[in-house]
Amino acid sequence: MATVSTHLRIGPADHGRTMTLEEFLDADVVEGYRYELARGVLEVNQVANDPHGVVVCNLYRGVGRYDGQHPGVIHRYGGGNEFQFLIPGLASGRNPDLGVVLRGAPRDWRGRRKPALAAEVVSRGSVDRDYVTKREEYLAYGLDEYWIVDPLERKVTVLTRRGDTWSEAVFRDEQAIDSLVLHGFATTVAELWVGVEDDGDDDDEAEAEADPAAGE
C-alpha cells in the first residue's frame, strides 16, 4: 500500500503565507523557485535572471581569486544552494547570494560551520528586503560582515559588525571593496558589473519578484 506524504507542499501560490520555522524546514516545495521565510511569512521568488546572475558570478570570481592568493583563509564559499541562514528568534530562513566560511569557524546550533560573511545582490524588487530587513536579520544571525551589492546604484555597501550594531562603508567605481573578513580583498566595485550591460536590464527580475507566479 502506498504511503501518503503528510508534509506540507508549498509553491508560488503560497507567497505571503504565514508559517513557523519548523513548517518551513519540513515542507516539500515546487521546484524552480526560491523560498525564504521572513519573520514568519513565506516569500517565493522566481530564480534570478541573467543580469543578477552575472553579478553573482563576478562576486564568486572575486572570492575565488582571493582564495587562490590567500590560501588557508577560506574554508568554503557558495550561494543559496549551499547556505541557509536560520534565525529562530525571528522565525526567518534566508538563502544568501554569497556566503563565506573561514577556516576554524565555530559551528552553529545545527553543527555546521558558521559563515562570517554574506552578500546579497539587489534587484528592483528586493531593495527594502536587502537594505533593511536582511540588515537586521543578518546582524541577529551573527555575521561579522554583510555586503549589499547594488547594480541599480552601482555601489557596494559593506556592513561590519561592531558589537550589536553595524559599521557602514560605501564603495563605488574603481574602489577596491575593503573587507575586514577578507583582508586584502582586491576586487573593485566596477569589476562586479562586467558583462551585465550585454545581458539587458533588470526589469524581468523585478516583475518576477513582484509576482512569483508570473511566467508560469
- For 149-196, how does the pLDDT look when each residue is reduced to its tens digit (9 = 90+)? 999 999 999 999 999 999 999 999 999 999 999 999 999 999 999 999
Q: Using one digit for the tens of pLDDT, what is the confidence trace for 108-144?
A: 878 889 999 999 999 998 999 999 999 999 999 999 9
Angstrom distance (rounded) from CA 32 to CA 30: 7
Is residue 54 over pLDDT 60? yes
Angstrom distance (rounded) from CA 77 to CA 118: 9
pTM of the model: 0.87
Q: How far apart are CA 41 and CA 20, in angstroms?
A: 8
Question: Residues 67-118: pLDDT tens digits?
Answer: 999 999 999 999 878 999 999 999 999 999 999 999 999 988 788 899 999 9
Q: Residues near 182 by Cβ (< 8 Å), separated by ≥ 6?
A: 63, 66, 70, 73, 74, 100, 117
Averaged over 17-33, what is the pLDDT? 93
Secondary structure (DSSP) of 97-135? SEEEEETTPPB-TTSPBPPSEEEEE--TTSHHIIIIIHH
Nine cell digits for residue 114 = 558558521
146 within 8 A of 117, measured Cβ to Cβ: yes
Q: Which domains does the chain have, with CATH numbers?
A: 49-197 (3.90.1570.10)
Concatenate the DSSP letters of all residues of 18-49 into one string: B--HHHHHH-EE-TTEEEEEETTEEEEEEPP-
